[in-house]
Amino acid sequence: MQNIQFSVYIDTQDKRRLNLYLSHVFPYFSHLYINELIENGKVRVNGKSIHEGDRLRLRDLIEIECTTDKYYLDGENMPLEVISDNSDFIVISKDALINTHTFPGIYGKTGTLLNAILYHYGKECNINGIERPGIIHRLDRDTSGLIIIAKNGRSMQPLQEKIAKKEIRKLYYAVVVWLVSKTEWIIESYIWNDPSDYKKMTTRDPTDPKLARTKYRLISHIDNQYSLLEIELFTGRTHQIRVHMADMGNPIIGDKVYWNPDINLEVFEKYWLSRQWLHARELMFTLFWVDYHFVAPLKDDLRFILAENGIVIV
């Protein structure tokens, strides 16, 4: 056992109570232990003591002193598509149908991207004294593509800050329903939780609305009923691309939350697509005075619908 200091930078709009957030980040700690850490002044937010029920905000820095000997997850020998690997970070192209992080429940600590990274890179990653990788941002379970993983504390905080300040440029590819008429367009609206369904985000009377800005560029029409788009995010709201495309009247094909199940079934029967056609294609950023540009090849299930219509994108 060893005493360690650990820091977490809040890079998204997350208004959970402090103790609930820490329970998510450290599921191997009991609620009682987390509350004891807070009560004993072992947890500070932006350098100040805080109560367990206080809520977090974007750009909060949480500092924790605790005792541990290992990270809470076991590594699992799962395949990884590695795009780049250096001494500071790894760039992975995540497969679809895999959760980025753990989630509550008996099955929430296995089969995640984090389990796979621990197996392949656990010994190379050490952040603030813990053998663990630092996943910088997230993708939805059904979205494939690029994710950055910090290997050390030197790279983790600046990468988190770049995500929060929108200094990492992100481009996605998506196939949406119907033929998009405008070759380029910027969508701007307010997005946050749907008051009638906690699993969804909405632009229609959202609770605590946040500005969201999305740009798309038409690449090609497909099968005279779909459109292949390149999409750039200027903000990073949950489900932003999916909500904006659905609001525009061009929802992403295969989206189980924001689109029609009958059309999803039609796409599945014709193209064997069992998830949303959304892929985090490119990442561009500068770290330690070095410029980086990463591109993730399309996954096979996404390529199929394009190839069937004579479109070749690797």
Q: Which of 11, 60, 140, 255 is catalytic?
A: 140
Distance in angstroms (rounded) separating the CA atoms of residues 311 and 84: 27
- Give Cα 146 to chain centroid, integer Å: 9
For this structure, is 140 an active site residue? Answer: yes
The partner residues of 197 in beta bridges, in order of sequence, read 194
The partner residues of 185 in beta bridges, in order of sequence, read 216
C-alpha R_g of the chain: 20
The CA-based dihedral angle spanning residues 234, 239, 245, 246, taken in that order and rounded to the nearest 10 degrees: -150
Closest-CA residue to 73 (of 20, 122, 135): 122
Handedness of CA 147, 192, 58, 38 (dihedral sign): negative
Token reading at 180: 């998009």
The CA-based dihedral angle spanning residues 109, 110, 111, 116, taken in that order and rounded to the nearest 10 degrees: 90
Q: Which helix (H) or strand (E) holds 6?
A: strand 2-9
**Residues carrying an active site annotation:** 140
